[in-house]
Amino acid sequence: MEQSSQSFGRRDLLRGLTIGGAALALTVRNESPITSAQAAPRSDFAKTQGLKVGAVLETLSHPLIKVWGDYLAIEGKGFGMQVSVQDGERNVQKQTSQMEAFITQKVNFIVLQATDAAGLSPAVRKAEEAGIPVITLNQNVAQVHTGFVGMGHRAMGVQVADGIAAQLGGKGNIVLLQGVEATGANIERVAGFRDELKKYPGLKIVADQSAAFDRKKGHDVFETILKGQPKVDAVFGVNDEMAIGAAQASVEAGRRAGIKFWGADGELDMLKGIMAGTVDGVSAIDVLLIPRTVMFLGAWLMTARVSGNSLAGQIEIPPYAVTKANVDKVAMPPA
């Protein structure tokens, strides 16, 4: 991408960004330009070596998020950056404290996977006002901020609705297992799913409960639902962990036959489950694109000397549907 000392628009910044061959969709929230005062001329790129990055993740007990934390550090090391990864333990107060600590330490930028879209907004605003760019990872926040990199959550919900409709012939009873309800991923996936279901009047949601993105909770919640629902034809676990747990509960109850289990993320266990026939479909992405794109964006911002309150756009990595018919063509993720 050509860069000059003249001003250029935010749209030009990332419009053509492609990582690993995947097309990335960018939605720009604010069209004001980054001026030459904010973006270094070609002869004056800043260095990334020695820069400090703070990463506040939702929880490191989730296998996929643990991989993201590991790869943020790996990708950062490739740019010569020091990345400190913190476990937010799905606690707003803990994540807020971690954010404030990074602000006090004057890190160069912060990566945040917010457990609550509204609850973390004040900390994000504080960081941006202190001149520290915030890049949200897969869980957006309400506060306008430097950037977002994540899955196309709404598109995932749409894909799952279409996938279930195809497998059930457009008719059946669905159980919806939601995650942490205040998170951006849950909000957008559920919205896309519900909206797409309107195309299929023969499909109806007969139970809708939270299982907090957790495999055991997915198992326990669905186990209870099965006792009160004599006919269940499909389950949408808003992430893979809940779908896997629910499928196990159905096996234990002797009701696996005839129920289609769908998730969203593309974890290794979910893809293995599709191959083995224990689950039926997932809306997935190449999971390593998330940390790689986050650190690529962070490095770009640092070399261009972009500070907080300078950019407000989002990169959404489009998902693809995986079923028994194509799982053998999908690359297996590390976790």
The band of 41, judged by pLDDT with boundaries at 50, 70 and 90, is: very low
Domains along the sequence of the chain with CATH: 10-152+287-318 (3.40.50.2300), 153-284 (3.40.50.2300)
Handedness of CA 87, 93, 95, 97 (dihedral sign): negative
Strand, helix or coil at 289?
helix
- Based on its alpha-carbon atoms, the radius of gyration of the chain, rounded to whole angstroms, reads 21
Give the list of residues 6+ apart from residue 193 with CB closer than 8 angstroms, or none: 157, 158, 160, 161, 176, 236, 238
Q: In the chain, helix, strand, coil percent, each to 5?
A: 40, 20, 40
Please state the rounded mean pLDDT for residues 57-85.
96
Q: Cβ distance 130 to 296 under 8 Å? A: no
pLDDT in tens, 99-151: 999 999 999 999 999 999 999 999 999 999 999 999 999 999 999 999 999 99
Instruction: Output the pTM of the full model.
Output: 0.84
Longest dimension (CA), the chain: 69
Amino acid at 160: V
The residue count of the chain comes to: 335
What span, in angstroms and rounded, lies between the C-alpha atoms of 256 and 213? 21
CA dihedral 84, 85, 87, 88 (to 10 degrees): 80
What span, in angstroms and rounded, lies between the C-alpha atoms of 130 and 188? 30
Q: What angle do CA 141, 306, 136 make, to 5 degrees?
A: 20
pLDDT in tens, 209-226: 999 999 999 999 999 999
